[in-house]
Structure 1
Amino acid sequence: MTTGTTRDTESLPGKATRTVGSGPSQAVDPAGAADPADLAGATAPIEAFQPVKSAGRTLDVLEALADSPRRRSLVELARDLGIPKSSLHGLLRTMIQRGWVEADVTGTRFGLGVRALQVGAAYLEADDATGLLSGVLDELASRFGETVHLGRLDGPHVVYLAKRESVHPLRLYSAIGRHLPAHATALGKVLLAERPDEAVDRLLSWPLPALTRHTVTDPELLHAELATIRARGYAVDREENTEGIVCFAMAVPLHSPAVDAISLSVPAARLGAESEERIVAALRAAVGQVRAARSLLAGA
């Protein structure tokens, strides 16, 4: 691997640093006592915080690898992330040593390592909502034999936290951890509808991408649909995320506004005349169970 002969350097402060609370690093003297003038800055507004460049670059690399369906080369990552190859080479070697990144047999293409899987699994194991809703997902999947998801709003996207597979060969492809535009999914739309239009406009990234020819991307049409969702209590994605798949979703009342939702996805070819009524009734019953068990969630 060619890394070049130049090396990026970042200026280092003359004093050692440590972190006080959640604010920026504070200067300390050799004995470890914090400078009072620096401590005063610990309560400064969050806007004054300056991210650590090396930490930001490391996270950029991990997020780029997570978003890619294939391994990435050093040249691709350096170009897409704007990181000099010499600096990126050092970051990748460090992350490979720690298990966060893996290289292929040629040592030239990189993907996420097993450590990333371990941390992701730990997140799900520690998440109260995932555990609380496990039985609800099982019940819906058993009753309908279709794909069931638990999703969480993450900025302008929705991410799958849990799923139950359909028993049919023809089914929706999905994976835990996958991010999708919130406006193009039933899960995302029902969670957007929990928020006022002004908050939705700030949350989404305009212009909205179209995943299929059915995706709603016009702001006025989307706001009108969100109003309908608020009135009826559930959202429908009619082939807006994937051609041939219809999805129904309802928000889970664990927080206000809700951040989690459950959904059931059905191929349009299997959607009968009374299917929507049955699915919505089942989702309402499931949400009712969660509302009754809400006290079990820590901090609810």
Structure 2
Amino acid sequence: MQVLKNALRILQCVVISQPVGVSDVARKLDLPKSSVQRTLTSLEDEGWLTRDTAHGGLWVQTSRIWVLAHQGKEIGVRSLAQEPMHWLWERTNENIHLTQMQGDDVVVVDKLESTHSVRVFDPIGTRLPLHVSASGKALLAARSPEGLDAYLQASPAGFTAESLTEERALRAELQRVSLDGYAVNRGEWRSEISGIGVALRLDGDREAEFGLAISVPSHRLHEDQLAEYGELLLEAKHRIEQAMPLGPGAAG
């Protein structure tokens, strides 16, 4: 039983910390490095984990975890989003994310990857707080006043010098998002990752649950691109929402 518990702890550690090495997993979980290595290899053999050659062979999850956990509605949204996501990718050649709000986090649930040699590493399953993500901020801006108050009163954490954590600053930022229709992340979760995102309204009068984003290395996202990428995202958003059986705002 302890072997199984440790295997689940190791799998969870990789999902949260990826890309991550054997030594880091062993240190985080206070387990022998040799035991961690054997377990990682076994999880790789079963298709749960893999080694990412682009990051020196560090361990990352495979899409199998996401597929198992997200059957049903999410699969349908992925299907609707595929063509608009590809349209967006063709015009930017940057990582395109379909995201889902899960509690106070946003999770990457599908993606198209840039062909640039330097690109963002953000595998399916990547999870981060709403206020430091472009699509997450767009989803926050679409929340009910009560839901937004609850989030802001929980004292959002900072991750970089660019993170907005003070309530007044965050409210002002979300007001701008509401006016522009899209949000911008300027290295607020990781300094090397920036992006632009929108919220998708797919369930009538319900609060938005899914988002769409362009994820870009910070050095490649310039101020004069923001309006262009924002307009592209708004067009892709329109295409996805119109693909719903009755379009956005439909009852049901």
Shorter chain as denominator, the TM-score bin is 0.7 to 0.9
Q: Is the 8 A contact 2:181 2:198 kept in 1?
A: yes
- Mapping 1:7-156, distance limit 5 Å: 63-64=12-13, 66-68=15-17, 69-70=20-21, 72-73=25-26, 76=29, 106-107=34-35, 110-111=39-40, 113=43, 114=46, 116=48, 118-124=64-70, 126=72, 127-156=75-104
Q: Cα–Cα, structure 1 residues 65 and 244, in superposed 2: closer, same or farther, change >3 Å?
A: closer
Q: Partner letter of residue 35 of structure 2? A: G
User: Residues of 2 paired with 1:146 and 1:73: CA distance?
Assistant: 34
Higher RCO (C-alpha 8 Å, min separation 6) = 2
The CA deviation at 1:254 is: 1.1
Let me know the Cα RMSD of the aligned residues.
3.5
TM-score (normalised: structure 2) = 0.73
Q: Cα–Cα, structure 1 residues 205 and 286, in superposed 2: closer, same or farther, change >3 Å?
A: same
Q: Partner letter of residue 66 of structure 2? A: G
- Mapping 1:201-216, distance limit 5 Å: 201-203=149-151, 206-216=154-164
Q: Is the 8 A contact 1:186 1:249 kept in 2?
A: yes
Aligned position for 2:185: 237
The structure where helix makes up a greater share of residues is 2
Across the two proteins, how many residue pairs are aligned to each other?
A: 221
Deviations 1:83-128 (A, max 9, x none): xxxxxxxxxxxxxxxxxxxx98x33564583365535224456421
Q: Partner letter of residue 258 of structure 1? A: A
The CA deviation at 1:249 is: 0.5
Aligned position for 2:124: 176
Q: Cα–Cα, structure 1 residues 149 and 61, in superposed 2: closer, same or farther, change >3 Å?
A: same
The CA deviation at 1:260 is: 0.6
Aligned position for 2:134: 186
The CA deviation at 1:169 is: 2.1
User: Residues of 1 paired with 2:98 and 2:193: CA distance?
Assistant: 17
Q: Is the 8 A contact 2:95 2:216 kept in 1?
A: yes
User: Residues of 2 paired with 1:59 and 1:108: CA distance?
Assistant: 11
Question: Percent same amino acid at aligned positions?
Answer: 26
Q: Cα–Cα, structure 1 residues 77 and 121, in superposed 2: closer, same or farther, change >3 Å?
A: farther
Secondary structure of 1:133 counterpart: helix
